[in-house]
Amino acid sequence: MLTKFETKSNRVKGLSFHTKRPWILASLHSGVIQLWDYRMGTLIDRFDEHDGPVRGVHFHMSQPLFVSGGDDYKIKVWNYKLHRCLFTLLGHLDYIRTVQFHHEHPWIVSASDDQTIRIWNWQSRTCISVLTGHNHYVMCASFHPKEDLVVSASLDQTVRVWDVSSLKKKGASPADDILRLSQMNTDLFGGVDAVVKYVLEGHDRGVNWAAFHPTLPLIVSGADDRQVKLWRMNDTKAWEVDTLRGHMNNVSCVMFHAKQDIIVSNSEDKSIRVWDATKRTGLQTFRREHDRFWILAAHPEINLLAAGHDSGMIVFKLERERPAFAVSGDSLFYAKDRFLRYYDFSTQKETQIVPIRRAGSTTLNQCPRTLSYSPTENAVLICSDVDGGTYELYQIPKDSIGRSDLQEAKRGPGSSAIFVARNRFAVLDKSNNQVLIKNLKNEVVRKSGLPVPTDAIFYAGTGNLLCRSDDRVVVFDLQQRLVLGDLQAPFVKYVVWSSDMESVALLSKHSIIITSKKLVHQCTFHETIRVKSGAWDENGVFIYTTPNHIKYCLPNGDSGIIRTLDVPIYLTKVSGNKIFCLDRDGKNKTLVIDATEYIFKLSLLRKRYDHVMSMIRNSQLCGEAVIAYLQQKGFPEVALHFVKDEKTRFNLAIESGNIQIAVASAKEIDDKDHWYRLGVEALRQGNAGIVEYAYQRTKNFERLSFLYLINGNLEKLSKMLKIAEVKNDVMGQFHNALYLGDIQERVKILENAGHLPLAYVTASVHGLHDVAERLAAELGDDVPSFPEGKEPSLMPPAPIICGGDWPLLRVMKGIFEGGFDSTGRGAVDEEEEGADGDWGEDLDMVDSDGLQNGDVTAILEDGEVAEDNEEGGWDLEDLELPPEVETPRVNARSSVFVAPTPGMPVSQIWTQRSSLAADHAAAGNFDTAKRLLSRQLGIRNFTPLKSMFLDLHTGSHSYLRAFSSAPVVSLAVERGWSESASPNVRGPPALVFNFSQLDEKLKAGYKATTDGKFTEALRLFLNILHTIPLIVVESRREVDEVKELIIIAKEYVLGLQMELKRRELKDNPVRQQELAAYFTHCNLQMPHLRLALRNAMTICFKAKNLATAANFARRLLETNPNENHSKAARQVLQASERNMTDASQLNYDFRNPFVTCGATYVPIYRGQKDVSCPYCTTRFVPTQEGQLCTICDLAVIGADASGLLCSPSQIR
Amino acid sequence: MAVAAAPDHLFHLRNNFYLGSFQAAINNSDLPNLSPDDAVERDCLVYRSYIALGSYQLVINEIDSAAATPLQAVKLLALYLSNPHDKESTIASLKEWLADPAIGSNALLRLIAGIVFMHEEDYIEALKLTNAGGTMELHALNVQIFIKMHRSDYAERQLRVMQQIDEDHTLTQLANAWLNLAVGGSKIQEAYLIFQDFSEKYPMTGLILNGKAVCCIHMGNFDEAETLLLEALNKDAKDPETLANLVVCGLHLGKSSSRYLSQLKLTHPEHILVKRASSAEDSFERAVQSVA
């Protein structure tokens, strides 16, 4: 039982849940009806009009009404919105036990101790039927949820089912006079409109409660005989099915559970019992110490029950509804309906993975509570409360997502179990306060005592545990056995780590604490209602849910509501503005939220003003709340950008010290108060100009004068004097004169104002004797006398400088103007980059070197190297080494130790198994490698191969620093590694040369040829020829490709050698022509052939060998050259057709097929004798036999050789 | 498998040492409240870290003749490694000590002797001293010796002993990774996971990066290996194994690795890769002679 809410009060006799709102009505024995919000835990209202106990209470399904009935014989209908009783239905003659609204008709059914059941129409406020038949108190009566039936229970030991279908007709046509007449008749004759359908007899004592099944034709009843009886009915009869015995005292109330196949009953024996409705066995009993139970109520929609007892009531759930889940990267694992399921956040697909064990016992609440997942091992740990805490370990085979054969899980006792490393999990052993570290075979690897009494453990990073005790949590390092962090925290229920494992949120019932990974407190959030779940978003904002809200927490302790919720959800992941969650039915849901507000606040907090700016510019948010927030957080200058209202703008500008904006706003507003405040702020900043302006606008002359005095601006001060004069403001005039130090003016003012004695004194003190005398004359006798010895002087000091503004404070400017500026600049940069790109392309074209290179790349497409690496590999398992038989078996611990003989190094194994030269070279066995090469390919000159041999050897081992200061371990690297390769079976060595590299080289060679870099090209093709003897490929097809590659490389080497030779021969035009001609007979790529032909054509044409040139031109035209070339060719053809002769004799007969000798560069026509190189197959004139091949520079011409061996497939 | 309760003060120090962050081991060696035994072990670890960093002379100077046996052993190691030309005298005194029944069975002395004999490639002699085990380090050394001898079957037996003592011990995990790499095949992946675990649990060190890189090399994943090695090179530009593995990687990727090679030749002329290369050159010349 999960108690959600409890009240303490007088005895609770009636209960009713509200359909939509989290409200419950409780009617008390004291006569009060209470309305509670069970989610917030607050008393919303109380209704106290009944006299004596209120036993029945019921909410209306849809209207803001409820009905109550009490021992004052009254049925009252209330409107909870208006907080008052609407009317009272009178008629019963004794206590009223229950009242209930009909779900669609405007009816109320009531049961009373007057032995009747009455049905009322609350709209017409009349009783429409009185059901008589019971001959003792009727303890309860209720409508069937769908059919026109009423069930009642009475102390007369019977349960009665009534048919009320005729009432419907009565209500349907009230205007029908004839019907009404007949009704009156029936009413007169004892009321036959509602009739008893069945009388269920079987209880031995009075029946307290009877209830229908929500869907099936079943009735359950509870009675003072301490029994719960189950009844079944059909159209014609009803009968007793079974009896549930167990209660020790009168059963007060009993009902079917709407969603599960269970019956819930409570009794005066102070217990609530849960029964299996099919097996009819007791499942669970919940006892209270002192309180007898009186009433039960079920929520019409969600999974909540309530029970009333002697001193209050409880709202509770029978089973937790939170699905156990674990998030790992992009996947969610969760338990639902006895299956472990998998949900992919990116594809939003869910899959059933493996069935999990059905709880063996029959008690409730045995569902998985927590789930822990190890991604590398693909293993899941599920903990449940079965047998006082059990964990189960499931390993999910990689290929079997969706396969659902029942896997026997490894299990063990322990209230919590979590993965602490890839292949280790910790199980809490509460009784010994220790954790057992187990491996995936469920074997204990280690035990470790815990530093605090722990009742649950949570993950806290690899090798660490977060241990929870009652009032604190600690992070404990299992290996060092050290407490890494310790924090006082109210009972932590859930722990949510941020994805970078740097922060953790500890969720308790009513609070969230955010701390660092070492439990350094960062902030705490308190909730008035339960915290349900939480998840971190990518930016480090913690998003959490309560039963009715999704909220956010910022790292600085700010929080706010994102949106409201109708039903509780359990967050699994937050990604951008998407929230993934599980609902109570274990369904995955995705909610889209508006993340703007918290992202905005976070950006502010992190001082990411560029983000703030862009959000402001896109005006994604506004409103009083944001402005208030900005002001409160000290960002008035940011708030400024939101506000249109001038007054607010002005206030914000003043607050942020932005005088310009303040002035602009003040101008708009133009009232005295704002100008004044502007003046004050400007004065504070020392911005005299603005102060002056503000004073001028408000015509505040006194202040203005004083400002000028302070500034030493005498000129303006005298203007002020004039203004005062014009305005006839004597005081102002005097002040200004005083400020100016203008005595005469002062005397004049005083005189004009009639203050002659003062004028006289002023004049005489300041030495204006003529004026003083004149005034003395005017005054006559009243000449004032001067005090002795004092010479007062009211002369202001002369200003040293006349300054305007002070050096102004730096106003916060940068952020915003800066923000705009930087984005502007960014755009310019991008444009410039674009220009760069174009430039690059231009350059490419420049670099084309006079030779056409347009379509070369397109032609080089035959290099499709199919890599068949997946198939097979080496099948040499029968040669398993090292031999274990001969070694003497010695107990390592015995005193006489015989060291084992060293095993065979891997390199030795390589040479034993392979007859490929490359493998031998890699193994460092150059001797045999060379023997193999000379036998297979007739190679005698190994000098060009030296670097290849050394590279192969160097690349065959990797180096591992193992034990400090001990020699390094060198490890043999094998080729063709695959995940499934079995260990201890040696594969062949990994070679540094592979076929694809050669392919690259071939392309580079082609490119160099096209570019006319013949030396470079020759080097590349030679390199190919030199590497091939040490190449290893897998399949036969690749062997053929390698052989083809030899031919290609050979042809190019020959051709390029001839071409280079030709260039050396400056003074032998005949030989030049011959070589150019032979070049065209090498097997070249089309563009290269074209170039060779053009070359030969030009040379021959120039040498006046027109017939030969014409031949080349014709061949050139056959290759479909581009416009320019074909034009040239046609011209040559035209020119030579006029004169089909050759100026000089060439050793070149193009009609007769030939090959060119690789050493002497003379044609060997078909049928002539030749010898060839055993490796590269170049042909030579017979005289060259026994020489080193001039093409490949490796093999001896005409030597015996068995042929290229470059693949294990050739040996098999 | 008793329930261990006392905090292990030297845990971090040992870990740093085993995982190759020697400077961190030295820097964080100032631990309060150590028992005398722990203090000696601490000093040994610190001096061995100095040796690993190549500061032999510092160790030789700081350990005087009054120091405890383990420290003397460490000093011998420093002497041995600092003076490649006069190994004989060091080995002689080592043998003399080993013969002394009072100190001959000291675990660290045996360990150092094992290391020295490994350098001498006298594995049999090394095993005679280390096979009895006694500390995790000795077992780990045994594993390494067996791997060197290409006897992975024996190495595996040693590893099992270690696993029985403490499966999650850093040295057990490391030895497991070494063995996995030595036997190859599917075990390479397990080795990779072990190094991966280390990198999640502890600060990255050159040793961990190298370990991961070697796994990648063995899995044929040379690009990733190169990335890891370059990261390791950032941490220590002179680390011989990083350089050597970079040479290997470069060869396989078809990139020029001659700079790394010459760097290695300059800083560590005694490195096994350099030695192998030069001996390979000799044997090539010899083979040319014989074929010709």
Residue B92 contacts A, CB cutoff 8 Å: no
Q: Which pLDDT value is given to residue B292?
A: 57
Contact list, A1000 vs chain B (CB under 8 Å) = 254
B168 with B228, same domain?
Answer: no
B172 with B215, same domain?
Answer: no
Q: How many CB pairs under 8 A join A and B?
A: 258
Contact A968 B11 (CB under 8 A): no
Contact B210 A961 (CB under 8 A): yes
Contact A479 B6 (CB under 8 A): no
Contact list, B210 vs chain A (CB under 8 Å) = 959-961
- The answer for residues whose C-beta is within 8 angstroms of residue A1013's C-beta and 6 or more apart is none
Largest CA distance in chain B: 72
Q: If you ran DSSP here, which 8-state letter would residue A1027 be given?
A: H
Q: In this structure, are residues A852 and A1094 in contact, taking their beta carbons and an 8 Å threshold?
A: no
B172 with B118, same domain?
Answer: yes
If we measure between CA atoms, which residue out of A291, A312, A363 comes closest to residue A5? A312
Residue B74 contacts A, CB cutoff 8 Å: no
Contact list, A899 vs chain B (CB under 8 Å) = 123-124, 127-128, 131
Query: In which residue ranges of chain A is pLDDT below 70?
Result: 169-192, 357-365, 398-407, 617, 619-625, 641-642, 787-794, 802-896, 1212
B174 with B207, same domain?
Answer: no
Does some domain include residue B193?
no
A219 Rama sector, left if φ>0, alpha if ψ -120 to 50, beta otherwise: beta
- The answer for residues whose C-beta is within 8 angstroms of residue A350's C-beta and 6 or more apart is A341, A342, A343, A344, A588
Window 994-1053 of A, Cβ < 8 Å to B:
997, 1000
Fold of A622-692: 1.25.40
Contact list, A931 vs chain B (CB under 8 Å) = 291
Residue B102 contacts A, CB cutoff 8 Å: no
Question: What is the CATH number for B134?
Answer: 1.25.40
Residue B77 contacts A, CB cutoff 8 Å: yes
Domain boundaries, chain A: 2-166+193-317, 322-413, 524-618, 622-692
Q: Which pLDDT value is given to residue A308?
A: 94
Q: Report if pTM > 0.80.
A: no
* Residue labelled with tokens 């014609």: A236
B229 with B268, same domain?
Answer: yes
Structure tokens that stand for A316 in this block: 């509770």
CA dist A297 and A256 (Å) reads 10
Question: What is the CATH number for B222?
Answer: 1.25.40.10
The reply to whether CATH 2.60.40 applies to domain A524-618 is no
B173 with B211, same domain?
Answer: no
CATH of span A2-166+193-317: 2.130.10.10
Q: In this structure, are residues A508 and A493 in contact, taking their beta carbons and an 8 Å threshold?
A: yes
Q: In this structure, are residues A972 and B181 in contact, taking their beta carbons and an 8 Å threshold?
A: no
CA dist B169 and B10 (Å) reads 13
Contact B137 A930 (CB under 8 A): no
The burial of A888, by beta-carbon neighbours within 10 Å (0-12 exposed, 13-18 middle, 19 or more buried), is given as exposed
Contact A959 B272 (CB under 8 A): yes
Summarize pLDDT for B258-291 with one digit per residue, the tens: 888 888 888 888 888 888 888 888 888 887 777 6
Contact list, B115 vs chain A (CB under 8 Å) = 963, 965-966
Candidates B168, B194, B275: best to mutate against A (most CBs of A within 10 A) is: B168
- Rounded to a whole number of angstroms, the distance from the CA of A448 to the nearest CA of chain B is 5
> Where among B127, B152, B183 does a domain terminate?
B183
Q: In this structure, are residues A1161 and A1058 in contact, taking their beta carbons and an 8 Å threshold?
A: yes
Query: Could you give the angle at the alpha carbon of A802 between the alpha carbons of A798 and A805, nearest 5°?
Result: 140
What backbone phi and psi angles, to 5 degrees, belong to B198?
A: -60, -45
Closest partner residue to B168 among A424, A449, A984, by Cβ? A424
Residue A518: CB atoms within 10 A of its CB come to: 16
Contact list, B105 vs chain A (CB under 8 Å) = none
Q: Which pLDDT value is given to residue A742?
A: 79
As beta bridge partners, residue A412 has A391
Contact B211 A985 (CB under 8 A): no
CA dist A702 and A697 (Å) reads 13
Residue B48 contacts A, CB cutoff 8 Å: yes
Summarize pLDDT for B165-200 with one digit per residue, the tens: 888 888 999 999 999 998 888 889 889 999 988 888
Structure tokens that stand for A975 in this block: 């080729």
Contact A902 B151 (CB under 8 A): yes
* Residue labelled with tokens 């349960």: A159
CA dist A572 and A327 (Å) reads 7
Residue A479: CB atoms within 10 A of its CB come to: 23
What backbone phi and psi angles, to 5 degrees, belong to B253?
A: -85, 0
Q: Which pLDDT value is given to residue A617?
A: 67
B176 with B140, same domain?
Answer: yes
Residue A974 contacts B, CB cutoff 8 Å: yes
Please name the helix (run of DSSP H) or strand (run of DSSP E) that holds residue A219, with its range, or none.
strand A218-223
This model of the complex carries an ipTM of 0.92
Q: Which residues of A688-697 are buried (b: 16+ CB within 10 A; e: fewer)?
A: bebbbbbbeb
Q: Which pLDDT value is given to residue A219?
A: 94
Contact A926 B284 (CB under 8 A): yes
Residue A327: CB atoms within 10 A of its CB come to: 21
* Domain boundaries, position B141: 106-183
Contact A968 B240 (CB under 8 A): yes
How many structural domains are present in chain B? 3
Contact list, A984 vs chain B (CB under 8 Å) = 152, 183-185
Amino acid at A1005: G
E-assigned strand segments in A509-648: 511-516, 521-526, 533-536, 542-545, 549-553, 559-564, 570-575, 578-582, 588-592
B112 with B66, same domain?
Answer: no
Does some domain include residue B190?
no
Determine the average pLDDT of the residues in B68-94.
Answer: 86
